[in-house]
Structure 1
C-alpha cells in the first residue's frame, strides 16, 4: 500500500528534492529549506511548531495511544558541487552531498501518506525536521532535545533514514541491529613553551617536541589500554606550529577525533588522553590546554524494535516490490547525531539504497556524488510504513 502510494507521489517527491538540492543551506541557517517544509506541512493540514532555529516538529494523529518519531535532517555541506546535474547547487561552495535533501523530501512524502491515513492511526506520528546534523559537535539534534523535543512529545520509539549511495542498491532498504554509528569527540591540544633560535635549543622550551610525544602516547592509549574487542579510532588530523625553519616557536596546537561504540571506553580514553597529555607537558615544561567539546554518543539501534520493524517492512512494502535484505550488523566509524534520540528512546536507523548509474560510484560527502532518485519512493514508503505499522498493529 505505502510503496504504491509513494510512487504515485513521485513527481511531487522529486520536485521537493530538486528544489532543496538546488538551494542548499548550512547549519541552523536554513530559511529557504524550512520555508518549503512549513508550506508543505501547511498545504497538507499538518500542524507544526519551531522549537529552535530552523528546527520544525509536526504532528499527525491522536494524542492518545503510542507515539513514533520520524526524523529527517535538512542541512548541506560546505563544498562545491561537481555533478553536472541540471538541478545542481546554485549556491557556490555549498552542496547536498550527504543526501539530506532526499531525507527531507522523503519525510514530507511520508507525512502526506500518513495524513491520508490519519483516521486509521491509533496514536501519533512526530515529524522531526532537524537542522545542523553536519555541525562539528552534533548541535542540531542536541539542540532540539535540550529544547524539549522528547520531554514534550514523549515518543515511544524513533526512526531515521539515511541515503546509501555506494553500499545499498537502489530500491533496497537495509536495516541494522545493535551498534550502528560510532561516537564522535573532538579534541584540541595546545602547548605553550618558550620560543628561541633553532641554533640554541637549550635556551628554549620547544612545544613541537612535546606535542609529538603526546601524539605518540595517544596512539598507545588506543592500542594498549582499550579492550581490543572494542573498536576505537583515534586520529590526529591537524598540526600547526612555527613560522620559520630556524625559529623555535612558543606555541603548538594539534587536533583530532576519537570514535568508539562504547560509552565506557569513550570516557576512559578521553580521560586517559588528558591525564597523559598533562604528564608529558609537565615533563617537557610546557603549559597545556586540553579542550574536549561535548561530542556525539554512539548510535545504537534497539535490537527488538529493529527486528520488529524489519518484519513489518518485509510483510508490507517488501511484498510490493521493495527489497528488504536480511538484517545487517555492520558498523560505521562515522557518527550520527540521531544518537541523542536513540540514547533515550528505542530507535532504528535504516539505509535507503540509491546507487547511481554512473560508471564510477562516489561515496557520501564527495563533490561528484549522484543519488539515484529511483530509490526515493522506497525510502518514503519505509518511513510511512514504519509509522503506520507501529500505530495500527
Structure 2
C-alpha cells in the first residue's frame, strides 16, 4: 500500500482513483469481499483502527476518547444491472454495476478519513466511520446496529448522491428526506378458456387491467396533494398463447411515501383497489404486502448543522431543497 495522501488536493485525487477502482469491481449485497478488503487496506495505510461488522461491513474510529461522538457512514454494495457506459473504469463484472453511486460514497468516506487523520489532534471528539454492506434492500444498516456500530454515537451523518441536483449544489433539509418504501404482489385468479369464448371465462387479464387503472386513483384522488406519495405497478404477468384466456394474472409493484404511516396506508388502499377491480367479473384477488425501509427523517438540529457547514464550503445560494423528499428509499433510516 502506498503512503497515504495528506494534502487536500492529493486526497481528492486518490479518492477519484479509488472510486474508479471500486466502480470497476462492483459487488452485490453481502458479497462485498473485495470492497471490504480495499476499505480495510486503506484504513491500515492511514493508521486507523477498525473492526469487522455485519460481515463485510467495517467500523473504524479515530480522534480523542472524549467529546461529542460523531459517526459518518458510507454504503458498499452495487446493483444487479449491466453497465453500457463504455468508460475505461466501467464494470468488469457482467450483470453487476455501481448504478447507485455507492462506490462514490465509499471513496469519499475514505477521503474524509484521510483528512481527519491528518488533523486528528484538532478533533474535538471521537469520529467513527461506518462502511456498511447491503443497503440495496438487504437492511445492512440494521445489521450494523445489531453489531454495535452505533454504540456511544451521539450523531450520525451520511449523504446520497443525486444526479438531478445540479453539480456543485447540495441539500440538507430537516424532516423527511427520503421515502419509506414497500413491495406488493397481487394475484388474480379467474377461469381460463378459449379466447373465442370469453363469456365462458372469468378473464384475469381484464381484471388486472382494471386494477392498473384503479390504482392510479389512489394517489391522485385519495391522498392530499401536498403529501408525497407514489404507487407504481412494475410487472404484469399473464397468459402463454394468443388464443387462450389464462387462469390467473400476477402484478407486482411498489408503494412509497414521505412517512412510514402513509406508505402503509397506500398499501391498504391498493389492496382495496384490487378487490374492487376483481368484483365485476367474479375474479378473486389476493394481496401480499412487504414493507421495506421506513422513511429517512433528518433530525432538525443535525440538519441545520450540516446545512451550515455546506453553506460555508459551497455558499448558501447552492443549497437546493427543491424536489424533496425523494421517493427513493434508504436504510440510513435505521440510524
**TM-score between both structures, scaled by the size of structure 1:** 0.75
How far 1:128 moved relative to its partner?
Answer: 1.4
Alignment of 1:93-242 (within 5 A): 93-135=95-137, 139-150=139-150, 153-170=151-168, 172-242=169-239
1:325 to 297, 317, 323: 317
Answering whether residue 305 of structure 2 is matched by residue 308 of structure 1, we say: yes
Mean alpha-carbon deviation: is it higher for 175-184 or for 103-112? 175-184
How far 1:166 moved relative to its partner?
Answer: 4.8
CA distance in 2: counterparts of 1:149 and 1:292, whole angstroms: 30
The secondary structure found in structure 2 opposite 1:84 is coil
The secondary structure found in structure 2 opposite 1:11 is helix
Distance 1:327 1:169, change over 3 A: closer
RCO (CA 8 Å, sep 6+): is it higher in 1 or 2? 1
For structure 1, the 5+ residue unaligned runs are: 342-393
**TM-score between both structures, scaled by the size of structure 2:** 0.87
Distance 1:145 1:210, change over 3 A: farther
Aligned to 2:25: 23
For structure 2, the 5+ residue unaligned runs are: 1-5
How far 1:147 moved relative to its partner?
Answer: 4.4
How far 1:173 moved relative to its partner?
Answer: 4.3
CA distance in 1: counterparts of 2:113 and 2:141, whole angstroms: 20
How far 1:179 moved relative to its partner?
Answer: 2.8
What's the C-alpha RMSD, in Å, of the aligned pairs? 2.5
Q: How many residues were matched structurally?
A: 328
Aligned to 1:86: 88
Mean alpha-carbon deviation: is it higher for 214-223 or for 181-190? 214-223
Aligned to 1:355: none
Distance 1:146 1:267, change over 3 A: farther
CA distance in 1: counterparts of 2:166 and 2:74, whole angstroms: 19
CA distance in 2: counterparts of 1:305 and 1:124, whole angstroms: 17
| Alignment deviations for residues 203-252 of structure 1 (CA, whole Å, 9 cap, x no partner) | 33222222223333322222222222212221112111001222111110
The secondary structure found in structure 1 opposite 2:62 is strand
